[in-house]
């Protein structure tokens, strides 16, 4: 059983012989990337504006089991990518360890996960799964439209975050960027858990007693931040890592995402605390204002 899994996820000829190519790989051109992001942003904003005009503000459109099915699909696909790139990374380390002695960049498997040797080309096992991860990012975009239809919400942070994550996964392939294997492992592990949790709650099962999704996102951002420092350390200490130009651009984008994320959720937390304080104050008031406080809490 395990040998069959290893073959189909890391030793199949289509995986071993994969090569990122603008002529052979679907979605591998810059024009496709920019046009896809533009279509996504325009479609989301247009749908939000249209619903705001034709429907009452608080009316939600029922989507049935579609969000739950979407969450289940993303969770399963992320789990497959996680296992696939984990097995592929182990196979690549096994097959290329002999070459490390000729370079000054890497000496251990963990260093290879953080820092590709200079001259690395986007071909082979790990880049196949990086390509699958890039394609899976388009599936994540549908959640934006579910949010608009169900909750009538669209924020700049959500549009920016989804667009930048799609762009970064493209840059990983285009420039054979260092750190992408570890980043994909962390991201797919998070997505498999988070979307599995969303499927769990979507079918009516009990949710966690704490903000589960937000906590997972904070853990992912923290791990990415630590790994970025590791890449920078190896780059200057070991003589250079591949794709550092794209890594620098991604670092700036990650910093912007982190700032927007913290700003968004801090404001949300403060707003929630103010509402809770107002509710508590209303609950302790006299009986004369009790009816008014009940209306506000609803």
Interhelix angle for 156-174 vs 244-283, to 10°? 160
Q: Is residue 284 part of a domain?
A: no
Q: What is the pTM of this model?
A: 0.86
pLDDT for the residue numbered 102: 65
Tokens representing residue 139 in the block: 């599936």
Q: Round to whole Å and give the CA distance between 166 and 136.
A: 9
Return averaged pLDDT per consecutive 10 residues of the chain, 298 residues in all: 91 95 93 97 95 81 92 97 96 79 70 87 95 97 93 87 93 94 94 94 82 80 84 84 89 82 73 68 47 34
Cα R_g (the chain), whole angstroms = 23
Task: Please report the DSSP string for 95-116 in residue order.
Answer: HHHHHHTT-SS-SSHHHHHH-P
Q: Is residue 245 part of a domain?
A: yes
Whether the CB-CB separation of 154 and 45 falls below 8 Å is answered with yes
Q: Is residue 126 part of a domain?
A: yes
Q: Is residue 295 part of a domain?
A: no
pLDDT for the residue numbered 68: 95
Q: Is residue 181 part of a domain?
A: yes
pLDDT for the residue numbered 243: 92
Q: Is residue 293 part of a domain?
A: no
Domain hosting residue 186, numbered range: 1-18+29-56+63-272
Q: Is residue 297 part of a domain?
A: no
Count how many domains the chain has: 1
Q: Say how many CA atoms lie within 13 Å of 151 toward its Cβ.
A: 9
Burial of 194 (0-12, 13-18, 19+ CB in 10 A): buried
Q: Is residue 182 part of a domain?
A: yes
Q: Where are the alpha helices (DSSP H) in 55-108?
A: 66-100
């Amino acid at each position: 059983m395990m040998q069959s899994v290893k073959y189909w996820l890391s030793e199949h000829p289509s995986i071993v012989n994969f090569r990122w190519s603008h002529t052979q790989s679907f979605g591998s051109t810059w024009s496709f990337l920019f046009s896809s992001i533009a279509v996504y942003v325009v479609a989301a904003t247009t749908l939000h504006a249209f619903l705001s005009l034709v429907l009452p503000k608080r009316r939600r459109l029922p989507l049935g089991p579609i969000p739950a099915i979407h969450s289940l699909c993303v969770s399963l696909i992320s789990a497959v990518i996680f296992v696939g790139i984990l097995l592929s990374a182990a196979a690549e380390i096994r097959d290329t360890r002999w070459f490390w002695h000729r370079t000054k960049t890497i000496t251990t498997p963990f260093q290879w996960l953080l820092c590709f040797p200079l001259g690395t080309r986007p071909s082979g096992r790990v880049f196949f799964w990086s390509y699958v991860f890039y394609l899976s990012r388009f599936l994540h975009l549908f959640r934006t439209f579910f949010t608009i239809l169900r909750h009538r919400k669209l924020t700049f942070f959500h549009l920016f975050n989804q667009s930048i994550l799609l762009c970064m996964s493209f840059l990983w392939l285009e420039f054979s960027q260092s750190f992408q294997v570890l980043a994909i492992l962390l991201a797919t592990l998070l997505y498999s858990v988070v979307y599995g949790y969303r499927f769990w709650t979507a079918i009516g099962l009990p949710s966690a007693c704490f903000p589960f999704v937000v906590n997972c996102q904070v853990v992912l951002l923290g791990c990415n931040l630590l790994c970025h420092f590791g890449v920078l350390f190896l780059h200057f200490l070991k003589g250079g890592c591949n794709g550092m130009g794209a890594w620098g651009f991604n670092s700036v984008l990650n910093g912007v995402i982190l700032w927007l994320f913290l700003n968004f959720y801090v404001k949300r937390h403060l707003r929630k605390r103010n509402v809770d304080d107002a509710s508590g104050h209303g609950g302790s008031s006299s009986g004369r204002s009790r009816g008014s406080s009940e209306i506000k809490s609803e």
